[in-house]
Structure 1
Amino acid sequence: MGSEFAETHGDAAEGIIAESEYDKLFEHLAEALGRVGTFAEGAGSGADFSGYRYVDQIPWITIVPSDDVPPSRAAQAAFEAINSAHRPFAVSFDFYPDALLILPQRRVFTTFAEEEIRGGD
């Protein structure tokens, strides 16, 4: 699924996008996450959400939420970021051992129960 999405929405082979495009998406997502919690690049910061800018330069960004972040809050930020982005991109959240993937058009794939994605904090 990830490879297909990246190849469909990327600009080059294997879904790669230009560094400037990736930076725009990453910053846009960081701002949305910052409206529902704290965000830091890298790990070990104690932030609600963390992510690495240059793992794969594709329109699919993976974020690691802290143990205190409910999936509904992560989904809220991802929906906002995806809906207002300058180009299609996807956000995956590594809630190990659970996972949450948000794609454009409010498509959600997850191991969480639906109420955990919709429900409040």
Structure 2
Amino acid sequence: MTSLSVPRVPHSKRALFVPAELRALEAPKGRLRLRVNRPAKGTAVVEANGEVDLGTAPRLWEMLNERLRGHGARLVVDLSQVEFFGTTGLCVLRRARLLADETGTLFLVFPGESRSVRRMLDLYGGDAFPAR
């Protein structure tokens, strides 16, 4: 029988010890790139490139949340360069849509030709994103 050994860490430092494998899972890098453009006064365009999944969706939410709590009248989410869009991304968009309604911000989602985004919006988006 084999057993896994856990490195001994002094009790005072135990809370700070996080194995490298867990740190890598908690902070995925390079799978989602976000950029904000401001083509006109009061308008922000958040461009996403890469994958929106369980690991990267929180970064997308942070970006959208910041913009929706700002003073803009319009927020456009450009997902045309997204290669994979999971259900967690859809949850982020729905949450952002609710916040946009609260703040009086026009919230638009542009899926472009991304099959992954279009499929998810068609299957589960319903009429939550009519402006696409």
- Give the TM-score of the pair, scaled to structure 1: 0.35
Query: Higher strand fraction: Structure 1 or Structure 2?
Result: 2
Rg larger in structure? 2
